[in-house]
Amino acid sequence: MARPELAYKPKQGEIPTNPGVYRFRDAEGRVLYVGKAKNLRSRLSNYFAPLHTLHERTRRMVTTAASVEWTVVDSDIDSLQLEYMWIKEFDPPFNVRYKDDKSYPFMAITLADEAPRVIVTRNRRIAGARYFGPYPKVWAVHDTIDLMIKVFPIRTCSDASYKKAMATGRPCFPGQIGRCGGPCSGKVSVEEHRAIVNDFMAFMSGGDQRFAKELTTRMRESSAAMDYEAAARYRDRLQAIDAVLSKSALVLDDDIDVDLFGIAEDELAAAVQHFVIRGGRVRAVRATTIEKELDISGGELVDQILQRTYGTARGSEVPRQVLVPALPDDTGDLEQWLQERRGKKVTIQVAQRGQKADLMRTAALNARQALMIHKTRRTSDYVARTQGLTDLQNALGLPDAPLRIECYDVSHLSGTNVVASMVVFEDGLPRKDQYRSFSIAETTDDTDSIGQVLTRRLAYLDRPEPETAAETVNDDGTVVTERRKPRFAYPPQLLVVDGGQPQVAAAARALRNAGHEEIALCGIAKRLEEVWLPGEEYPVILPRTSEALYLLQRLRDEAHRFAITHQRKRRRRDIQSVLAEVPGLGEARIKALLRHFGSVAALKRASEEEIVALPGIGPSLAAAIRTHLTDG
């Protein structure tokens, strides 16, 4: 029997097994989520599983909904089309939401004009225009146009200047100084200008090498005929072409047309770097940030990104090949869908090796950096920080905003070298001078480690260290007294631990045993980004756009980074102490060994011949190293 909140659940036999598209609606009829399925019954049954088995955000969606409806289609390709149309029409809040990082400038050719001109614009709705880009900077578009009109002299003047020049017979000002090659200059007819425009677009579409070959041939012919002025003009055009092509590093073969998507994601957001490669060169890069509401796999995310990118694309706007980090389940259907738009075969692949894989790693690196910036930008803004602290106060039911927050994380290497970190945020900003790390000699698990660390930290609240003073003498002889605050100067208003119910329970015991239950406590579980409070059966679920959630994520990530850094330093010291016991092995040689082999474990597996290959280590020393490590 369905729970009351899912009273709208259809009977199993009512849902068809055909391919189709489904929509969840709320009580007011608003579309909450749109999805497609090869088998509607199989897909929808996943949403109506027992609530406790659903991902928290999926559970929130199905309990918010009041009805579900579906439309059967003839094929999987039709379901792709219909899903895309409905997402564009209804903008459902539980589908992924796209947000361009900024409005990028484009190069546009106004083909609807009598004499098309090239302009720089951010407007993507100019009737009849052909666009190239986007470009990361406005000056990059202007530089490209300046070089291109030396080879393909097309119109750059405004419509008003063009009409005035055609009426008076006097070239426009750009035409007088050689920056406009339109018909108003009298050098070409409207028909000849249109042909030059077509060559301009052909070159920009793929860096067509035929232009370079033609100019090279003409330059040589002019030189042979001793027409050196014409040869110089062709030479200058060749140099302009080389300059345009060199503005993008050659990354693939000249005949490669491919779109590449680097993606970095966490539970709530994803950053996409879309590299447009034509003629083997990166012609444009577009950055997009995506906010996720439901828990979707990497393949599902790629599916929706491709639909969004190519939903209105036609012809050469769709490349021959699309490279992605993970293949969607319906790759074949997507390829057919793209083929219908391009008019030719399109393949979707994962780059495994070679130059394409290298470029994919570059795109992924850019995506990771963009995701990091996206997550930190909001917490670095004063208004966002204030809102985050207020949201956190309300979500956790605190009497005041937590101006000082301490976050704890535990790190270890297979149960050894256990350390913990404490990071401090005041007014929503990190106070790195108050970060602390803890070494844990013996522990049974992470909960025991959390208990030990908090017990040690909370003990300082009852016996605070005295404030110290240090005197320094300035150059003029005056004495300055500098007062130094103790290590744990202020008690926190909120303690945050990395983990779920078990870690929060351990931290609550430490607070209770220390007699400091007045300090608020919560934990953030990474898998679902759930916020747990002590003694509560269910977690607090913060909205994906909540400034409070971004603040907690930043705290948790910073505590994890600091713990990992300390743990690695300890492990490196331990490794160096082991090698320092080898007679004749000094600090410089130890560093060389660690740099080469990376760890003692790798060094143990190395043969004497591999050790001897390092400069400064002879056969006898290599044998001593092997003996010490194997006997130890």
Nearest C-alpha neighbor of 273 from the set 203, 337, 368? 368
Whether 286 and 224 map to the same domain: the answer is no
pLDDT at 482: 58
118 and 89 share one domain: no
Q: Is 550 a member of any domain? A: yes
Query: Which pLDDT score, from 0 to 100, does residue 315 have?
Result: 82
Average model confidence (pLDDT) across the chain: 78
Q: Are residues 157 and 262 in the same domain?
A: no
Give the relative orientation of helices 587-597 and 547-580 as an angle to the nearest 10 degrees.
Answer: 130
Distance between CA atoms of 349 and 54, rounded to whole angstroms? Answer: 31
- On whether both 539 and 394 belong to a single domain, the answer is yes
Instruction: Work out the percent of the chain whose per-residue pLDDT is above 90.
Output: 3
Contact by Cβ (8 Å): 350, 323: yes
What amino acid occupies position 382?
Y
Please tell me whether residues 592 and 459 are part of one structural domain: no
Which pLDDT score, from 0 to 100, does residue 329 have? 84
Q: How many CB atoms lie within 10 A of CB 512?
A: 11
pLDDT, greater one: 579 or 393: 393
Whether residue 612 is contained in a domain is answered as: yes
Smallest CA-to-CA distance from 553 within 362, 268, 349 is with 268
Report the candidate in 128, 105, 274 with the shortest Cα–Cα distance to residue 201.
128
Phi-psi region of 477 (alpha: psi -120 to 50; beta: other; left: phi over 0): left
Q: Do residues 19 and 155 share a domain?
A: no
430 plus 307 within the same structural domain: no
Q: What is the CATH number of the domain that holds 46?
A: 3.40.1440.10
Residue 568: count other Cβ atoms within 10 Å of its Cβ.
14
Residue 570 lies in a domain: no
Same domain, yes or no, for 368 and 452? no
In this predicted structure, what is the pLDDT of residue 41? 87
145 found inside a domain: yes
Let me know if residue 461 belongs to a domain: yes
* pLDDT value, residue 525: 81
For the CA atoms of 100, 104, 108, 110, the dihedral, rounded to the nearest 10 degrees, stands at 70
CB 440 within 8 A of CB 418: yes
pLDDT of residue 3: 43
Mean pLDDT lowest among 14-18, 535-539, 563-567: 563-567
Mean pLDDT for 542-551 is 78
Work out whether strand 258-265 and strand 321-323 pair parallel, antiparallel, or are unpaired. parallel
- Residue 547 makes CB contacts below 8 A (sequence gap 6+) with 378, 379, 384, 385, 387, 388, 391
Q: What integer is the mean pLDDT of 433-455?
A: 83
CA torsion angle 180 185 186 189 (round to 10):
40
pLDDT in the model for residue 407: 92
Helix intervals (H) in 478-546: 501-514
The answer to the question of residue 576 being in a domain is: no
Confidence of residue 490 (pLDDT cuts 50, 70, 90): confident
Instruction: Kindly list the distances between the CA atom of residue 137 and the CA atoms of 134, 367, 407, 448, 535, in Å, as whole numbers in the listed order.
Output: 9, 18, 40, 53, 53
CB-count burial class (<10 Å; 0-12, 13-18, 19+) for 170: middle
The domain that holds 275 is classified in CATH as: 3.30.420
DSSP lists the bridge partners of residue 269 as 291
Threshold 0.75, pTM exceeds: no
User: Which among 247, 274, 297 is the end of a domain?
Assistant: 247
Cα dihedral sign, 76-80-81-82:
positive
Cα distance between residue 324 and residue 298, in whole Å? 10
Give the number of other CB atoms < 10 A from CB of residue 175. 24
- Cα distance between residue 153 and residue 176, in whole Å: 13
Regarding whether 184 and 292 lie in a shared domain, the answer is no
- Whether residue 573 is contained in a domain is answered as no
Length of the chain as a residue count: 632
396 and 538 belong to one structural domain: yes
Task: Indicate if the pLDDT at residue 540 is higher than 70.
Answer: yes
Question: Is residue 182 located within the same domain as residue 151?
Answer: yes
Q: Quick one: tokens of 420? A: 């913990």
- DSSP strand pairing (258-265 vs 67-72): unpaired
- For residue range 205-233, list pLDDT tens digits in order: 665 566 667 777 878 888 888 877 777 87
What span, in angstroms and rounded, lies between the C-alpha atoms of 198 and 192?
A: 10
Token readout for 104 is: 């990028």
CA angle 437, 441, 442 (to 5 degrees): 125
**CATH number of the structural domain spanning residue 602:** 1.10.150.20
- Residue of 297, 294, 277 lying closest to 286 (CA atoms): 277
- Taking the C-alpha atoms of residue 521 and residue 39, their distance in angstroms, rounded to an integer, is 45
Query: What is the span of the domain harbouring residue 237?
Result: 207-247
**How buried is 206 (Cβ within 10 angstroms: 0-12 exposed, 13-18 middle, 19+ buried)?**
middle
Nearest CA to 426 among 528, 551, 532, 526? 551
Angle between helices 298-310 and 76-90 (to 10 degrees): 70
User: Is residue 568, in this structure, part of any structural domain at all?
Assistant: no
**315 or 246, higher pLDDT:** 315
Q: What is the pLDDT of residue 103?
A: 57
- Of the residues 192, 215, 247, which one is the last residue of a structural domain? 247
pLDDT category of residue 282 using cuts at 50, 70 and 90 = low
Tokens of 242: 């080389």
Torsion 579-585-586-590 (CA) sign:
negative
Task: Look at residue 569 and tell me whether its pLDDT is greater than 80.
Answer: no
Same structural domain, 200 and 218: no
359 or 345, greater pLDDT: 345
Final residue of a structural domain among 30, 64, 95: 95
Which of the listed ranges 32-36, 49-53, 136-140, 204-208 does the model predict with the highest average pLDDT? 32-36
Average pLDDT over residues 391-416: 82
CA distance 331 to 354: 22
Could you please report the per-residue DSSP string of 332-389?
HHHHHHHHHHHSS--EEE---SHHHHHHHHHHHHHHHHHHHHHHHHHHHSHHHHHHHH
Q: Per-residue pLDDT for 492 more than 60?
A: yes
User: How many domains in the chain?
Assistant: 6
**Would you give the distance in Å from CA 442 to the centre of its chain?**
39
